[in-house]
Structure 1
């Protein structure tokens, strides 16, 4: 595909035939009607109206739509993008819905490119600041039992790839990352509450206080009772 040096924002529709390509710019896809099947090397998703999707530069993807469809597409030149951007499959929350609305308005107003360029810079900033859905899920549910397959499914990654992706992104394995959050919460509860060890272990999702104590000693070198006294 041609090298895009300018921001392009327009509505597009896709055919039922499979197509495959990659481009040297980033691309944001906002569904307006219908859905789009997209497959990258490690992801396979059906993009519908409740989600949006970002494709980084040089990411080969196969795509097609099996129904009537219309998408708002934002092509983002690389000089707008933070380095090392990755594909992101995100819930179309209130903020992203508002961004989609503003971008739609800009497709109707082609008199000047300045507002569109400013919006694109904001989108790039959002990409830089956005938390991956599975990491956000971990922060909300780390006290519960979380399976690797569950996290991979949230990102629509293959489980084998998800583990290496997660470590590259956070510097830790998913298991170590979750344990760190649980340990931080355990220490906070031990320091700031008078809860029993049994209550704290239950709060953090352990089967019993004995398993919690063994786990705590493995990380801190002392039992939780002694940590509390110190």
Structure 2
């Protein structure tokens, strides 16, 4: 089994240069140490010169875009040349080297998958409880983009790609992928930045996001829900829905 299948990594961002630089450097080191062929694509909704220069320094392709994460992800995927697409948030932290596990899932016939939700840093009872609840939600519902979604490229396009929306852009895609084939969960590999939950309050942020998800399930368009999302940077870079 080939554990070094080429992967295209697609990262949407909006004024995320500090954390983006850390992620790109980490990916580059892992690719070099494991001889993994990797294509790095950054889709920048701020069209920021600083971001462009950072991508140039770290060997990533830089694409300017308008502020809509679903459209950013679709744009990045349109430039991907490898058989596996891996969508990461700019503030994601990698645990170990997840790429062999992604390749193994692909070789075993999975159409895609995601990583178990884990917060970065030292845990607390709130974070551990939320991780357990999110695992339960993933079993009955869908994982979201901050869980490092990866997809076989042909299956991604067959399933209609991400919806061109600023919120819940992955929901319909994952439903279609699960009908198409196996969509697997990997136990370790990606950690989620916990600063937003610490800033907003663990339960307050989670409750607000669940109410947004309920509103979406009831048919309210994501374009209206973005206006209701009260956190800073709501329309673009900080639209975590966990």
TM class by smaller structure: under 0.3
Q: What's the TM-score once normalised by structure 2's chain length?
A: 0.22
Larger-Rg structure: 1
By relative contact order (CA 8 Å, sep 6+), the higher-ranking structure is 2
Q: TM-score, normalised by structure 1?
A: 0.23
